[in-house]
Structure 1
Amino acid sequence: MKKIIVILIALISFSSCKNEAKQKVNLEENRAKSYDANDGLITMRGEYVYYTDAAVLQTANEIYGVVIDDNLQLLEEQVKPFKKEATDMVPVTVRVRKFEKPEGEEGWQYRVEIKEILKVEAPDQNKEDVIKLGN
């Protein structure tokens, strides 16, 4: 009887150690899980800009207004090192909640609320789609 109890305690302790190893997940695995999660959020990749009191996420097909909240401020801190000018757009990958703007308000048809920041990239320096006006 004592042997069975000792064996059960050993099995329980080994199985609890195995769970601790699973809890240590690196960032890349976390990102992969975020892409596949079925939680109602959408993963979007696009160019982001926040200037004065407006934030925009431009994807390949559409432009979205971004809700200004704490997650936006966190994203802004992460993109600052990549900006040369305040109006520079920075490529980002984020998980968002997408919804239509309230009726009667100005702005883009859809808005997104950033829930998770997955990736911030340096802008392509060879891109020649910027028009600058000078004196």
Structure 2
Amino acid sequence: MKNLFFVSVVLFAFLSCKNEARSKEVDKDVVTDGPERTAKQSDGLTLLKGDFVYFDGAAVLQTHANIYGVFVTDKMHELNKLVQPYKKVPTDMIPVEIRGKITDKEDDVILWEQKVEIKEILNVFEPKKENNDVIELGS
């Protein structure tokens, strides 16, 4: 009985190690830089999906994981014009999809730790009705 238990433990350990070696070989095949990459994958820009707002000279993009200060450029003004039809009040955040260059360099105007410069506008989406989180103060 003890021999059967010992043999099954050794067999289990051997099979487990064999699977790990196989998964390591698969990891070696993943290539991040190479001729298979498209021009868009190699241009250094990042795809960001989130809620955009431009109000009182400041622009912000809030994704599911981070909040980015947005550099005020011609592309940012273009995006602001595209989101205007969806806004009910000037502080509404509108879902967008952009490609941009993320940086954490110091800036005198933008005090957010992470900043993004919009390089390409991909989509502007109509806000969902259930995401109406507006709190109005005063009467």
TM-score (normalised: structure 2): 0.67
Gaps of 5+ in 2: 1-37
Distance 1:85 1:104 in 2: 28
* CA distances 1:42-99 after superposition (whole Å, capped 9, x unpaired): 0000000000110000001110000001000110110010111100000000000000
Matched, 1:67 2:92: no
Which of the numbers 95, 102, 114 marks the counterpart of 1:98?
Answer: 102
Identity %: 43
Q: CA deviation at 1:130?
A: 2.4
- Paired with 2:72 and 2:109, the residues of 1 have a C-alpha distance of 15
* Amino acid paired to 1:72: M
1:122 corresponds, among 120, 126, 132, to 126
Specify the code of the residue in structure 1 equivalent to 2:99. Answer: R
Distance across 2 between alignment mates of 1:88 and 1:103: 25
Unaligned 5+ runs, structure 1 = 1-32
For residues 1-135 of structure 1, what are the structure 2 equivalents within 5 Å? Answer: 37-102=41-106, 107-135=111-139
> Does structure 2 retain, via aligned residues, the 8 Å contact 1:101–1:108?
no
> Alpha carbons of 1:127 and 1:59: their partners in 2 closer, same or farther (altered >3 Å)?
same
Q: Which has the larger radius of gyration?
A: 2
| Deviation >2 Å, runs of 4+ | 103-106
TM-score (norm 1): 0.69
CA RMSD of aligned residues (A): 1.9
In structure 2, give the amino acid aligned to 1:100: D
